[in-house]
Structure 1
């Protein structure tokens, strides 16, 4: 349904696979300083602390407390007085926009402007790029890690794998020389070779299109042996397997192959649903789901689907999310921003709440759940001594209104201010 409307952006995505905000003063980020707030969420599974404070030292949290803060420590005045939580992770983004091209040599200010517009002003201190030009994304990540560019921690899948002769219909008009370079392995050996090269070049995992829409209702599916070999090699090399499923059958194929993360709910074919048995198997095999509910509204609006029809379709994806979460499945927040040019995530929070997730479940999808999924729960996701000082300061309490998750006063990554409202 959304194929035609996605065509132009998908072309940009495939090309990338190959190849208005306040300026924040730079700070060393390694000194000792104090942040105070009206409320502090240590973690989603703990009650918030009122009139709380935390001390940051050398990019890590030194102490957390309430009542009178320690004296004699520099106060981060610009970020004082809000609701403090662990920094957020967006688990589905794309660095395919031209503003991130040539990241190795592009001016730091230009890169920061793009990062602020798309990510840091919404509290993201970690993001997962699920498909981009790996050389540029790796360069951007290195410049952020070095302190040259203010931005979030980046995890990336690099360049995806498609089914053999299974380039999606919305990519078919690409020039032949580009189409020939898109990975669509015919054998497990070819898939493994691509994965080894991708991870050696800096990818943190593998993105598989287990099902590609070919037009006129046809879906080309990845050979199960290729999908399974791809997952096994990715795991052997220490990475995670992310899967674009397209439909419920794609979900089943992803689970059978050994996927770690399903990067979308599904709205195709119309009226399809995830069976209780499928949901149960996903949970049993510890498969995480990134709902991307906002994306469906975005695509259906572009396709000029009537509003009442659009809402019925989106409600199907909401029911998938509710069934998965109610069964104990791990939900990871993500929006597909970068492909989707609607940057503000407020609608995603509203749709997740409408699906039945509580504010603390949404907070977990932003913090503790992705940290655990990426085996970094000892480093981030909670506001406790010894953890990375990845922080977001909100202007209001998201427990009262989930849209407050997107109302960000300050974003701090490893003790460094990367966005100030």
Structure 2
């Protein structure tokens, strides 16, 4: 069986191991049968035409990363300014392949990827995980997404082009128009910057956009059947995004009791991206000229408070979905986030749920992916070693199935080869 074999009607059997079904419960011994890209059976005593021996391993739903930037390969502004425009798309193809090989079968791109990149994956032109796109982040003038420099030049992370309009807006009318532009560009989500950020010149703690602008963005997105994801570090930005109906808060570093209570009452999801500020610090340590000192200082500030704020959200029962902000960090290393979440106080099987069934629920795809259950798409990973040990997860994945096809198999994992 290879990534190009379709084998219609044939039964692919994963046998001899345990299954983590995505619910948060501990794994149980079971086999999994896949037919025509979907899970046809989970249980014991099953048979198949093709067999993958997973003895001593765990079968899990394919992981879901709810916050990536596949078009971003480095946060060094100088490198970005010297990168030919078209090169970003070739780098994105590599980034998507690395992400899939790491065991991540679905991603939500939080700005940068356009519909053309999504179609390239859908049609099999390039390998990659299922891709949901925000395309461009909506930002106020002088906000987190404004690439204007004091010299007068424009240096955005993601230059606008026919498939990705500029996200810079001010006022209700522009908000309505820009959401409609993004809908026209085939966005799956609408992303808004509700506070300052790390890799921008603005103040991390300032709220961005006024109430009428946020309300219009969410209302116009809803009219098109889309949800809103809100970048928000600052407390007041978090609260404003939640009050106006954002489905998820990205980062959510400065959570106070009121913000947590609002998230609980509105059912808002938190996508914490604990790895992101650590990645910025690591990039700066590797090359002290790569980032301005002010940005590095903001990243250090977040590292100190992020884990504690996340723990408070976990303890309060806030709904959490895994996301990494990869692109800020290194593509293919996304799943370091799992270990960070566990170290910050989330039980390991709840961490796994946040990266499978929980993430699918946030993305409104739980009828298709996120669990090992008959009828769902067979996005599956096979994990070597204890499933509740979240250290080095990507290095322990022996097999990745995307819609029932073997998309990646670790070369040294001979026991994972179909018999």
TM-score by length of 2: 0.81
Separation in 2 of the partners of 1:127 and 1:381? 12
Tell me which moved more, 171-180 or 276-285.
171-180
Separation in 1 of the partners of 2:72 and 2:341? 27
Separation in 2 of the partners of 1:217 and 1:201? 30
Offset at 1:97?
Answer: 4.0
Q: Structure 1 residues 354 and 312, CA, compared in 2 at 3 Å: closer, same or farther?
A: farther
For the 8 Å contact 2:15–2:32, the answer to whether it is kept is yes
Partner of 1:265: 252
For the 8 Å contact 1:163–1:212, the answer to whether it is kept is no
Offset at 1:368?
Answer: 0.8
Tell me, what secondary structure is at the counterpart of 1:252? helix
For the 8 Å contact 2:206–2:234, the answer to whether it is kept is no
Separation in 1 of the partners of 2:138 and 2:348? 35
Q: Structure 1 residues 348 and 104, CA, compared in 2 at 3 Å: closer, same or farther?
A: closer
Q: Quick check: 1:76 aligned with 2:52? A: yes
What pairs up with 1:271-290 in 2 under 5 angstroms?
Answer: 273-290=254-271
The alignment yields a C-alpha RMSD, in angstroms, of 3.2
Partner of 1:36: 15
Tell me, what secondary structure is at the counterpart of 1:281? helix
Q: Quick check: 1:221 aligned with 2:208? A: yes
Tell me, what secondary structure is at the counterpart of 2:127? coil
Q: Quick check: 1:62 aligned with 2:34? A: no
Separation in 2 of the partners of 1:126 and 1:380? 9
Q: Quick check: 1:337 aligned with 2:326? A: yes
Separation in 2 of the partners of 1:276 and 1:176? 39
Separation in 1 of the partners of 2:71 and 2:88? 15
Separation in 1 of the partners of 2:377 and 2:58? 18
Separation in 1 of the partners of 2:155 and 2:303? 37
Separation in 1 of the partners of 2:168 and 2:300? 35
Tell me, what secondary structure is at the counterpart of 1:95? coil
Tell me, what secondary structure is at the counterpart of 1:115? helix
Q: Structure 1 residues 331 and 204, CA, compared in 2 at 3 Å: closer, same or farther?
A: same
For the 8 Å contact 2:13–2:50, the answer to whether it is kept is yes
Separation in 2 of the partners of 1:404 and 1:166? 36
Tell me, what secondary structure is at the counterpart of 2:196? strand
Separation in 1 of the partners of 2:227 and 2:306? 24
Q: Structure 1 residues 320 and 37, CA, compared in 2 at 3 Å: closer, same or farther?
A: farther
Separation in 1 of the partners of 2:339 and 2:88? 37
Partner of 1:409: 398
What pairs up with 1:276-315 in 2 under 5 angstroms?
Answer: 276-303=257-284, 313-315=302-304
Offset at 1:36?
Answer: 1.7
Separation in 1 of the partners of 2:146 and 2:89? 34
Offset at 1:367?
Answer: 0.8
Partner of 1:46: 25
Separation in 2 of the partners of 1:40 and 1:216? 46
Q: Structure 1 residues 284 and 28, CA, compared in 2 at 3 Å: closer, same or farther?
A: same
Offset at 1:369?
Answer: 0.8
Point out where structure 1 has 5 or more consecutive residues left out of the alignment.
Answer: 1-23, 267-272
Separation in 2 of the partners of 1:346 and 1:374? 19
What pairs up with 1:90-239 in 2 under 5 angstroms?
Answer: 90-97=65-72, 113-117=94-98, 119-134=99-114, 138-166=115-143, 171-172=148-149, 175-176=153-154, 182-212=166-196, 214-215=201-202, 219=206, 221-239=208-226
Offset at 1:61?
Answer: 0.5
Q: Deviations over 1:171-214 (max 9, x none)?
A: 52673497897332222121111111212221111110122364
Structure with more helix by fraction: 1
Offset at 1:112?
Answer: 5.5
The aligned length equals 379
For the 8 Å contact 2:384–2:398, the answer to whether it is kept is yes
Q: Structure 1 residues 418 and 29, CA, compared in 2 at 3 Å: closer, same or farther?
A: farther
Offset at 1:87?
Answer: 0.8
Offset at 1:80?
Answer: 6.6
TM-score by length of 1: 0.80
Tell me which moved more, 92-101 or 276-285.
92-101
Separation in 1 of the partners of 2:367 and 2:147? 41
Offset at 1:257?
Answer: 2.1
Q: Structure 1 residues 358 and 311, CA, compared in 2 at 3 Å: closer, same or farther?
A: farther
